Structure 1
Amino acid sequence: MSDINILEGRLQAALERIGRAIENSGGPSQPAPAVDDAAVAALQAQVQELQSALAEAATAHEAETAALNEKLAAAEDNAQNLQGVVAALRGRIKGLRNANASKIGDPELVNGALEAELAASDAQRQADREELNSILAELEPLMGEAENA
């Protein structure tokens, strides 16, 4: 029975220590931080500016993509035109070879072959010119940056 009395005393002392600790704490140790309305407003303004800049960049990107798609379509059209002209030239040359092989010198075949060759030359020159123009268009912004540096 004395063990029970000893345990009761220890338990009572522990409860008293817990009670004193609760009384001494008295509530939260640190007050809640004050919200700075000016800082919040400044951060919201920055977020809006960044969202506007992002929207402008997206619009510029879409415009650039559309311009590049137009250039690509033009280049594809030129490539198809060039392929057609070259195919016609090959056909004319084949006819000319056949005529020469059979010892028939047909002036119409020679004239047609020369016309096809000129058309192929013109188409190739046009394709080269457009390629150079696209290269120059890509270099112009870089040249402007170099001059400003």
Structure 2
Amino acid sequence: MSDITELERRISAALDRIGTGLDGLADPAPEGPDPAEMQASLDIAAARADELERALSDEKLANAQLEERMKSVRDTADRHASAMDIQAAEQKQTTAKLDSELQRLRRAAEDLRQSNLGLRDALEQGLNEPHLINKAMLAELETLRATRSVEMAQADAVLAALEPMVKRAAQDAAKADDAKESSNA
């Protein structure tokens, strides 16, 4: 039994030394990064993610505004193209009318020339032909009418060419007045 007591004493002494040794040891360092550093990195990443989300949201808004402006520009361009097509068709009609009036004038001038030649020949032969004088007068009247029609067609062509410019100038003046009023308000 004395051996048991001796063993107990030795075990107790060893346990005391172990306890004393453990008290002097510090807690072991955790493996991996420091939780405080991890939280700081996580906070920084979350702030950056929020910042990027705001930037993305701003860009989406700017993109939507640009798309709306592009749609407005396309609509305006389409309206202008339609107006230009209408204007071109009107000018084509005006030009066709002017051309037909010029053809009429040329025919009337040729008729007048022929009538005058016939009248001159009759006068040279000493013939007094009243129907030739009437024919010459009618040809001259038709030439005057054709000349007047050509002048009207030319005036219509000029007015048709000026009308879009006048409309555009009126629209620009209205826009300028609106801008001036809005800046004064």
TM-score (norm: length of structure 1):
0.68
1:42-53 superposed matches below 5 A: 42-53=65-76
Would you say 1:69 and 2:95 are equivalent positions?
Answer: no
Partner of 2:141: 118
Partner of 1:59: 82
Partner of 2:110: 87
- The Cα shift of 1:47 comes to 1.3
Q: One-letter code of the match for 1:109?
A: L
Task: Write the distance in 2 (CA, Å) between the matches of 1:64 and 1:104.
Answer: 56
Which one of the candidate residues 82, 96, 99 is aligned to 2:122?
A: 99
For structure 2, the residue ranges without an aligned partner over 5 or more in a row are 1-48, 178-185
- Give the greater-gyration-radius structure (CA): 2
Dislocated runs of 4+, deviation >6 Å: none
Report % sequence identity. Answer: 25
- The Cα shift of 1:125 comes to 1.4
Cα RMSD, aligned residues only? 2.6
Secondary structure of residue in 2 paired with 1:105 = coil
Partner of 1:20: none
For structure 1, the residue ranges without an aligned partner over 5 or more in a row are 1-30
CA displacement, residues 65-121 of structure 1 (integer Å, 9 cap, x when unaligned):
000000000000100111111111100000011111111121111111111111111
Q: One-letter code of the match for 1:88?
A: D
Would you say 1:132 and 2:155 are equivalent positions?
Answer: yes
Task: Write the distance in 2 (CA, Å) between the matches of 1:71 and 1:110.
Answer: 36
